[in-house]
Every structure is written in structure tokens, then in C-alpha cells.
């Protein structure tokens, strides 16, 4: 299928606007849960959105905002969930780290590092044995590559030839600890190679290459019925958990942050109209649910 780069940039800009609004609004403390934003990493999920017709089953990490915005995109249910309000996508029971929309293919988000991976492999096993055509996506970061469950899952997916897309967003950090302090190589795809799984290392620095690499990954899994490991190098501009820009926490330096900011594809190619739309839509709903939460808090003390 042909992916239109302008549509990808438009949606990435919209998601950037939504996430920026969440960050700007979080200080009111009326969103009653931690938030793990992905500001800086939108481009990948804007591309994946173009493949919704492939019957995707996404099992995401705790950083699940972009999978939700990409596959579902209902802002009212999203903002309500962050406020733990009954109007939320999970009736206000799960919040940010468990954000999900199973009806639209975002099966779950799991905050325990690496725990989304075996769920996706299990789903692909069910898909293969039932003759279904969905594609299971195990979404995780470079930090999860240090968990034994990844290697066990790669092994069983390879041995059983399971149609799983292992999607690793390599942003170079586990919380505030750099990759160089944790692993001897920056390439996460080397783990797939050890399990004899076809792999590719891509980047959010080039939209054209990213579109091609995502397309190859989906078509390989769909046609061959075998696993594929797609590593996407990216950069998280905000802190690990919370609403602040991360310029100098932990191993980061201001110089590194500014270097990656200058290479931020979404910022350089921002669709300002889409960004403003996302920000304004989100801001209106934040105001609404902040007011509702204030009323709920006040009534609880009466």
C-alpha cells in the first residue's frame, strides 16, 4: 500500500499537539495518575496508523499514549481516563500506564517492563492456530531488551514461526540511564539475529526510510507468517515520567538535548494547523474534566 508522507506528518503533528497540551496541563494535579509521554517519538505511530486495516493487535509498554492516539484517537475518552473519570476509555479505572482500546486494536498497555512481549507472542500463537489474519505487535523500549522475557519470547517465536512483530523503540535511555552504561552495543536488533529472526534498524530521522521499513515489516509478517524485529531509533524530548522537558536529568546533557531537538523531524516539518487542532481539542477537554474532578473532590469532603 502507498503511504502519503503528508498525512503522516499531519497526524504526527496532531499527536504532538495533544501530548504537549497534556504536559502543559498536568501541573494542575487534576490528572490523577502518572503520565509517560512520548513527545519526540510520534512519527513511528503516525506511520503505523496507516496500516490499521491489517488487523493489528498491539500490546504496548507503559508508554502507551501514542498507540492509543494512533489506533483509536477518541480524545474525550483519553482525557477522561487520564483524569480517572468514569467517561474514560476504561471507565477511569486504569489511567495512563494501562491506557488501551481493544476494539480498535490497542489490546493493552503494561507498566511492568517487558511484560507486553509474551502477551503479543501468545496472541500470535492463537492467531496461527485459529487461522486468523491479525498481526500481533509486541511494543517495548530498549530497556526491555535487558529483560530475560524478551529473549525467551524471541526464541519461541522463532522456533514456532509465529507471526509477531517485535517493535522496539530505542530512545537510548532507560529512565535517565544512557544505553552506553547498560549495554555493549546500541543495536537492539542483534538479539533478533541471535534468534534467527529477520530484522531491520530504522530511524525517525528519515520519514521516507521509516515508511519503507514499517511497510517491509508488516508485509513480511503478513505474507510469511514468521516473526520480524523492527528497531526504531528515536529520542524522547520529555522526561521519563512527567510533564517536564528533559534537558539534564541523569546522564543527559543540555548539549545532547539541543542536538536531538535540532534533528527532530516532526518539529522541522510541523503541520502547525494539525498541532494547534490537537492542542486546542485537548485543552478544551482538559478544562472540562478538570472542572468535573474539582467538583468530585469538593463533594467528597462534604
CA angle 201, 140, 67 (to 5 degrees): 100
Strand order of the sheet with strand 198-203? 106-109, 56-60, 135-141, 164-170, 228-233, 198-203
Question: Are 1 and 50 contacting, i.e. CB atoms less than 8 angstroms apart?
Answer: yes
Whether 19 maps to a domain, the answer reads yes
Task: Report yes or no on 286 lying in a domain.
Answer: yes
The number of distinct structural domains making up the chain is 1
Q: Which range of residues forms the domain containing residue 202? A: 5-296
CB 11 within 8 A of CB 274: yes
| Domain contains 246 | yes
Please report whether residue 165 resides in a domain. yes
In a domain, 234, yes or no: yes
Do 153 and 138 contact (CB within 8 A), yes or no? Answer: yes
Q: Output the domain CATH number for residue 74.
A: 3.40.50.970
Residue 114 grid coordinates: 517487558
Distance of CA 82 to the CA centre of its chain: 16
Tell me if 159 is assigned to some domain. Answer: yes
For residue 56, what pLDDT is reported? Answer: 94
pTM of the model: 0.95
**Within-domain flag for 302:** no
- Burial (CB count within 10 angstroms: exposed 0-12, middle 13-18, buried 19+), residue 228: buried
User: Are 221 and 163 a contacting pair, CB within 8 Å?
Assistant: yes
Per-residue pLDDT, 1: 77
Q: Give dist(CA 76, CA 283) in Å, integer.
A: 11
Determine the straight-line distance between the first and last CA of the chain, rounded to whole angstroms. Answer: 58
Provide the pLDDT for residue 32: 80
pLDDT of residue 138: 98
Q: 240-249 — which CB contacts under 8 Å span 24+ positions?
A: 240/36, 240/173, 240/175, 240/176, 241/34, 241/35, 241/36, 242/26, 242/34, 242/35, 243/22, 243/23, 243/24, 243/26, 243/27, 243/35, 243/37, 244/23, 246/176, 249/176
Per-residue pLDDT of the chain (302 residues; tens, 9 = 90+): 789 999 999 999 999 999 999 999 999 888 888 999 999 999 999 999 999 888 899 999 999 999 999 999 999 999 999 999 999 999 999 999 999 999 999 999 999 999 999 999 999 999 999 999 889 999 999 999 999 999 999 999 999 999 999 999 999 999 999 999 999 999 999 999 999 999 999 999 999 999 999 999 999 999 999 999 999 999 999 999 999 998 888 999 999 999 999 999 999 999 999 999 999 999 999 999 999 888 876 676 55
DSSP string, 150-175: HHHHHHHHHHTT--EEEEEEE-SEET
Residue written as cell 492509543?
A: 68
Residue 277 lies in a domain: yes
* Phi, psi for 58 (deg, rounded to 5): -100, 125
Amino acid at each position: 500500500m502507498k503511504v502519503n508522507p503528508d498525512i503522516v506528518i499531519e497526524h504526527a503533528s496532531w499527536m504532538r499537539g495533544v501530548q504537549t497540551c497534556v504536559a502543559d496541563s498536568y501541573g494542575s494535579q487534576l490528572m490523577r495518575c502518572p503520565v509517560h509521554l512520548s513527545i519526540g517519538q510520534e512519527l513511528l505511530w503516525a506511520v503505523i496508523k496507516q496500516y490499521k486495516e491489517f488487523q493489528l493487535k498491539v500490546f504496548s509498554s507503559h508508554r502507551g499514549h501514542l498507540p492509543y492516539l494512533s489506533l483509536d484517537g477518541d480524545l474525550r475518552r483519553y482525557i477522561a481516563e487520564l483524569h480517572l473519570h468514569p467517561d474514560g476509555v476504561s471507565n477511569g479505572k486504569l489511567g495512563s500506564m494501562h491506557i488501551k482500546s481493544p476494539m480498535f486494536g490497542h489490546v493493552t498497555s503494561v507498566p511492568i517492563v517487558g511484560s507486553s512481549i509474551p502477551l503479543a507472542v501468545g496472541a500470535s500463537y492463537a492467531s496461527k492456530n485459529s487461522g486468523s489474519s491479525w498481526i500481533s505487535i509486541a511494543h517495548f523500549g530498549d530497556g526491555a531488551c535487558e529483560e530475560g522475557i524478551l529473549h525467551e519470547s524471541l526464541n519461541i517465536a522463532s522456533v514456532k514461526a509465529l507471526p509477531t512483530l517485535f517493535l522496539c523503540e530505542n530512545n537510548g535511555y532507560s529512565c535517565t540511564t544512557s544505553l552506553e552504561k547498560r549495554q555493549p552495543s546500541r543495536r537492539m536488533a542483534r538479539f533478533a539475529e541471535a534468534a534467527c529472526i529477520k530484522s531491520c534498524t530504522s530511524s525517525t530521522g528519515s520519514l521516507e526510510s521509516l515508511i519503507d521499513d514499517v511497510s517491509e515489516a508488516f508485509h513480511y509478517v503478513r505474507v510469511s507468517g514468521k516473526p520480524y524485529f523492527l528497531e526504531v531509533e528515536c529520542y524522547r524530548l520529555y522526561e521519563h515520567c512527567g510533564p517536564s522537558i528533559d534537558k539534564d536529568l541523569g546522564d543527559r546533557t543540555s548539549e545532547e538535548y539541543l542536538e536531538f531537538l535540532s534533528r527532530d523531524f516532526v518539529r522541522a516539518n510541523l503541520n502547525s494547523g494539525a498541532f494547534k487542532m490537537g492542542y486546542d481539542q485537548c485543552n478544551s477537554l482538559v478544562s472540562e474534566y478538570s472542572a468535573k474532578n474539582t467538583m468530585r473532590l469538593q463533594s467528597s469532603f462534604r
